[in-house]
Amino acid sequence: MERSLVLLKPDALDRGIVGEVIHRFERAGIKIVGMKMVVANEETAKKHYTEDLAQRRGEAVRNLMISMISSGPIVALALEGVEVVEVVRKMVGTTEPKSAAPGTIRGDFAHVSFKHADEHKMGVFNLIHASGSKEEGETEIAVWFKPEELVEHHPSYTHITLKQ
């Protein structure tokens, strides 16, 4: 089992699609082990969007992301499942909404392009963040959740095994 952080960003809350997105994860059999609504302060946003992002994408992009994630309420989810990072990333779709496949969260609910965002010097409103690796998931969950905010539970279907 591994864990992934998902953040439903302010634009997802503005659009009123939080329930739909969570429902998709639940339908896939992904277990929610943490969930809360918060308004990110700048310190937490900077812990999430690290200096590594600035090195890869530039300080201006990092600052836009920090500004966007702290512009309103978000819903933070800690999800758990078998190879959950890869499964969640597939369900979320590519970072650029315009390029995301239909059926993915970004493909169904967003359409902004990198070009448009760059031309208007704005962040890409892409609704959702999902951890990119198992290690990133663990690190990011620690930014948004205290250990006591995560719940261990075992749905009955996870204990069914085949008899030989």
Domain that includes residue 137, residue range: 2-147
- CB count, 10 Å around CB of 132? 14
Task: Please indicate whether residue 129 is annotated as part of the active site.
Answer: yes
What type of residue sits at position 141? Answer: I
φ/ψ of residue 42, rounded to 5: -60, -40
Q: Give how many domains the chain has, as a whole number.
A: 1
Q: Which two tokens stand for residue 64?
A: 């836009």
Residue 162 lies in a domain: no
Residue 154 lies in a domain: no
Residue 80 lies in a domain: yes
The enclosing domain of 140 has a CATH number of 3.30.70.141
134-143 as b/e, with b when 16 or more CB fall inside 10 Å?
Answer: eeebeebbee
Residue 140 lies in a domain: yes
- pLDDT tens-digit profile, the chain (164 residues): 899 999 999 999 999 999 999 999 999 999 999 999 999 999 999 999 988 876 777 788 888 889 999 999 999 999 999 999 999 999 999 999 999 999 999 999 999 898 998 898 888 889 999 999 999 999 999 999 999 999 988 766 555 555 66
Residue 19 lies in a domain: yes
Residue 155 lies in a domain: no
| Catalytic member of 129, 153, 154, 159 | 129
Residue 159 lies in a domain: no
Q: What does the DSSP 8-state code read for residue 120?
A: T
Cα(121)–Cα(71) distance, integer angstroms: 16
CA dihedral sign, ordered 50, 85, 109, 11: negative
User: Exposed, middle or buried by CB within 10 Å (0-12, 13-18, 19+), for 81?
Assistant: buried
What type of residue sits at position 152? Answer: E
Residue 163 lies in a domain: no
50-75 as b/e, with b when 16 or more CB fall inside 10 Å?
Answer: eeebeeeeeeebbebbbebbbbeebb
The tens digit of pLDDT for each residue in 49-96 reads 988 876 777 788 888 889 999 999 999 999 999 999 999 999 999 999
